[in-house]
Amino acid sequence: MSAISLDELNAADQQAFVEALGNIYEHAPWVAEAAARKRPFRTLAALTEALQEAVQAAPEAQQHALITGHPDLADRAVRLQTLTVDSRREQSRAGLDRLSDEEFERFQRLNEAYRARFKFPFIICVRRHTKDSILREFERRSHNDVTSERSAALREISRIAQLRLDQHVKGPDRLKVHGRISTHVLDTLNGRPAAGVAIELGIVCEVGMRQVIARAMTNADGRTDRPLIAEEPVPIGCYELRFAIGAYFAAQRLTLPDPAFLDVVLVRFSVAEAEGHYHVPLLTTPWSYTTYRGS
C-alpha cells in the first residue's frame, strides 16, 4: 500500500477507494465503503471523522466483528501467519517480537484472562507504546467492565487507523498523531550553545535494561539537526537522555580534576502523551546542570 493523495481518493470509483483504504481498519473494508459515500473530503481530518462515524454507526455485531478481527497481541504463532503487513510492522517496533520467554508467558496469561472475560482480543495501538506501557495498560484495562472495554478497544482501533491513514494518504493537512523528543544543550560556563556534545536517547525498561533508540551530536546551535524522535508517535514509557558533557568540557582545556566531577549526564523522564512535544534542554557547566521540560 503506497501513498495516495486525498484528491485521488476523492476522484476514485467506489471500488478503488475501498481497495485503497480497505486495510486502514483491519479486515473491515465495510468501514471504507460506508465513508466512501460522504466524499469529497477536503481534509484528512474530515476523512478520519467519516471513517470513525461509520464505525460508530455500525450495529453492535459488526463492531464486535471489527474488534475480533484483530490479532492477539502476544500470540506469536498466530501472528506470523495471519497478521496484515501493517500489523506485523507495528508490533515489531514495541519489541513484541523480541519477548523473552518469561515476558511471552506473561502476555499469554494476560491474554487468556482478558479473552475469558471479554470474549475479544486485547487491542492497543502499539506504536504509541513501549513494552512496559502495554503491560501496564493490559493490566489496568483488564479491570474494566465489558462496555467500557469495548469503547476502549474501538478507541485504540481508531488510533491505529489514524496512524495508517497518516502514512498512506497525503492531504492538505496533517493528523495530530505524531509526537517529538528534542533537546538543546547550553554551555553556561561560556554563555553559548554547546556544540559537539554526543547524545544518546534510550528507552528504560522496568527490568532495568536500556535500549538505545537514537544517537546524535549537537550542532553549532546546541541542538540536534533533527529531533531525536519526530514524525511518529512517541511511545509512552520511560526514557533516558545521556549527554557526554565530560568529553565536551575536556576539549576546552580547562583545569578540571581527574576524573572530572561530571562525565555523562543522565536525564530520565517519562512520556505520558504519545502525541506530546517533549523538549528537554540541558544547561551545564563542569560542576552543575539544570534540566526541565521546555517548549
User: Which residues would be at the binding site for a copy of itself (CB under 8 A)?
Assistant: 184, 186, 188-193, 221-222, 236-238, 257-266, 268-270, 272-273, 283, 285-295
52 vs 284 by CB, closer to a copy of itself: 284
Distance CA(200)–CA(66), nearest Å, equals 40
Cell 463492531 -> residue: 63
Residue type, 240: E
Report the nearest approach of a copy of itself to the CB of residue 229 (Å).
16
40 vs 294 by CB, closer to a copy of itself: 294
93 vs 210 by CB, closer to a copy of itself: 210
Report the nearest approach of a copy of itself to the CB of residue 244 (Å).
12
10 vs 188 by CB, closer to a copy of itself: 188
Beta bridge mates, 185: 282
Report the nearest approach of a copy of itself to the CB of residue 289 (Å).
6
Distance separating the N- and C-terminal Cα atoms of the chain? 36
Report the nearest approach of a copy of itself to the CB of residue 211 (Å).
14
Distance CA(260)–CA(233), nearest Å, equals 37
Contacts of 156 (CB under 8 A, 6+ apart): 123, 124, 125
Residue in 64, 70, 184, 279 annotated catalytic: 70
- Residue 201, number of CB atoms within 10 A of its CB: 23
Report the nearest approach of a copy of itself to the CB of residue 218 (Å).
11
The angle, 0 to 180 degrees and rounded to 10, between the axes of the packed helices 146-168 and 14-21 is 110
SS3 239: strand
What would you report as the CA-atom Rg of the chain, rounded to the nearest whole angstrom?
23
C-alpha cell at 194: 554547546
Report the nearest approach of a copy of itself to the CB of residue 203 (Å).
13
Run of H or E residues at 45: helix 44-57
Among this protein's residues, is 70 annotated catalytic?
yes
9 vs 204 by CB, closer to a copy of itself: 204
59 vs 257 by CB, closer to a copy of itself: 257
Contacts of 184 (CB under 8 A, 6+ apart): 193, 221, 222, 223, 279, 281, 282, 294
The angle, 0 to 180 degrees and rounded to 10, between the axes of the packed helices 44-57 and 29-36 is 110
Annotated active-site positions, please? Answer: 70
